[in-house]
């Protein structure tokens, strides 16, 4: 089984476009058993890019977040809890501390300083792991974070594990969250290949370099795709000079891509003039991952 992660150091650089087309390419064009994992739990849209779910096989709730609550019968109104809360999750109303649940990270600091043991914690739903099949025939596992849920990366871990359990799987394509935070590390560790999507801008290239540092740290091979390369050819050439053979493809800015995305259809399922070039990039990704 091969796990291929699609990531970007910054949001909006086209990683879901690449992840959805790669999932489609492996499962529908190569005909190999492949499951996509949406690991961008805060804003999942991989299933949508593949036509949206037409059948959901399972929807599991995940409980791992904690929220503080105050027993006012025990509270002596010392307000020490408010003074230690780094997340501004305790406010004062009518001279007593009140927890704002949406801000509470469940860190436990308030309970540690409370002199009367008035603070307790309850476990709340973090989100869901959803598994189903989309209109374009792709099997997708989605990690879906609850509003104000704690995005520790565990949800991503659970989504990856689910993908390994859903029958015959030869390839898993992981659409990671943007950035280099905990959910991204959780997507990358143990994978076989990292594909970094970058646009020809200094901001995007900076994010790409940060991800390369992560890949080097966790010792995972990486390759880079330059998206919308024609919007700044000079900067594209600079990226190619700096990253050499690690750049395995260029994707132009195109209304056809925008349209396919808006139509919830992977470009490879259309008659686009860009299809052949994109197939070559997908083929190269599969080859490098083997
Ligand atoms: S658990 Fe942490 S975040 Fe929540 S109210 Fe207490 S100190 Fe604030
Ligand atoms: S630290 Fe405990 S006793 Fe003091 S105000 Fe907060 S809940 Fe009440």
Q: Say which CATH number the domain at 181 has.
A: 3.40.50.300
**Angle (CA) 165 187 203, round 5°:** 155
Contact 183, 68 (CB under 8 A): no
What ranges in 121-253 are assigned the alpha helix state H? 154-165, 182-188, 202-217, 233-243
Total structural domains in the chain?
2
Q: How far is CA 85 from the centre of its chain?
A: 28
Ligand 2 geometric centre to CA of 118 (Å): 6
What ranges in 42-132 are assigned the alpha helix state H? 46-49, 80-84, 109-113
Asked if the structure places residue 78 within a domain, the reply is yes
Phi-psi region of 124 (alpha: psi -120 to 50; beta: other; left: phi over 0): beta
Asked if the structure places residue 197 within a domain, the reply is yes
* 53 shares its domain with 151: yes
Asked if the structure places residue 87 within a domain, the reply is yes
Name the residue among 123, 139, 146, 137 with its Cα closest to residue 44: 146
* 89 shares its domain with 52: no
* 109 shares its domain with 241: no
Name the residue among 33, 35, 34, 25 with its Cα closest to residue 285: 25
Distance separating the N- and C-terminal Cα atoms of the chain: 9
The H-or-E segment that residue 22 falls in is helix 15-24
The per-residue pLDDT for 34 is: 96
* 11 shares its domain with 86: no
Atom 8 of ligand 2: nearest residue by CA position? 75
* 196 shares its domain with 107: no
- Residues 136, 141, 145, 150, CA torsion sign: negative
Q: Please tell me the pTM assigned to this model.
A: 0.87
Asked if the structure places residue 267 within a domain, the reply is yes
Asked if the structure places residue 205 within a domain, the reply is yes
Q: Is residue 195 classed as helix, strand or coil in its secondary structure?
A: strand
Average pLDDT per consecutive 10 residues, the chain (290 residues; last block may be shorter): 93 92 97 96 93 96 92 97 96 96 92 97 93 96 85 86 91 93 89 96 94 93 96 96 96 93 94 94 95
Q: Is residue 93 classed as helix, strand or coil in its secondary structure?
A: strand
Asked if the structure places residue 122 within a domain, the reply is no
Ligand 1 geometric centre to CA of 98 (Å): 11
Tokens 């509270």 belong to which residue?
75
Name the residue among 41, 149, 152, 43 with its Cα closest to residue 103: 149
* 45 shares its domain with 161: yes
* 103 shares its domain with 237: no
The per-residue pLDDT for 151 is: 65
Domain that holds residue 88: 72-117
* 262 shares its domain with 178: yes
Q: CB of 100 closer than 6 A to ligand 2? A: no
The per-residue pLDDT for 275 is: 94
Ligand 1 geometric centre to CA of 41 (Å): 23
Pocket residue to mutate for ligand 2, from 72, 73, 78, 83, most atoms within 8 A of Cβ: 78
- Tens of pLDDT, residue by residue over 17-38, are 999 999 999 999 999 999 999 9
Asked if the structure places residue 251 within a domain, the reply is yes
CATH code of residue 106: 3.30.70.20
Name the residue among 101, 96, 145 with its Cα closest to residue 122: 101
* 112 shares its domain with 38: no
Ligand 2 geometric centre to CA of 46 (Å): 44
Q: CB of 118 closer than 6 A to ligand 2? A: yes
* 102 shares its domain with 241: no
Asked if the structure places residue 171 within a domain, the reply is yes
* 111 shares its domain with 245: no
Phi-psi region of 264 (alpha: psi -120 to 50; beta: other; left: phi over 0): left
* 181 shares its domain with 50: yes
Residues 6 or more apart whose Cβ sits within 8 Å of residue 128: 59, 60, 61, 62, 142, 143, 144, 146
CA-CA-CA-CA torsion for 87, 91, 97, 98, nearest 10 degrees?
Answer: -90
> Quick one: tokens of 35?
């499951």
């Amino acid at each position: 089984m091969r796990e291929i992660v699609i990531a970007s150091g910054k949001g909006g650089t086209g990683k879901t476009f690449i992840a959805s087309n790669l999932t489609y390419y492996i499962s529908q064009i190569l005909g190999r058993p492949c499951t996509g994992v949406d690991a961008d739990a805060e804003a999942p849209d991989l299933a949508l890019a593949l036509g949206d779910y037409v059948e959901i096989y399972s929807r599991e709730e995940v409980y791992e977040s904690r929220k503080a609550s105050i027993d006012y019968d025990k509270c002596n109104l010392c307000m020490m809890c408010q003074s230690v809360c780094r997340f501004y999750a305790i406010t004062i109303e009518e001279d007593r501390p009140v927890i704002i649940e949406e801000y509470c990270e469940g860190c436990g600091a308030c309970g540690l300083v409370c002199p009367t043991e008035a603070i307790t914690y309850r476990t709340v739903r973090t989100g869901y792991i959803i598994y189903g099949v989309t209109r374009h025939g792709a099997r997708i596992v989605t990690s879906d974070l609850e509003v104000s849920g704690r995005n520790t990366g565990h949800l991503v871990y659970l989504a990856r594990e689910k993908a390994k359990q859903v029958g015959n799987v030869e390839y898993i394509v992981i659409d990671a969250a943007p950035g280099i935070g905990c959910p991204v590390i959780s997507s990358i560790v143990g994978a076989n290949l990292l594909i970094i999507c970058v646009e020809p801008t200094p901001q995007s290239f900076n994010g790409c370099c940060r991800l390369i540092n992560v890949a080097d740290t966790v010792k995972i091979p990486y390759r880079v795709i330059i998206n919308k390369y024609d919007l700044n050819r000079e900067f594209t050439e600079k990226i190619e000079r700096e990253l050499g053979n690690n750049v395995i493809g260029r994707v132009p800015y195109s209304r056809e891509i925008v349209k396919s995305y808006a139509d919830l259809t992977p470009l490879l399922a259309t008659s686009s003039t860009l299809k052949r070039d994109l197939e070559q990039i997908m083929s190269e990704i599969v080859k490098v991952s083997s």
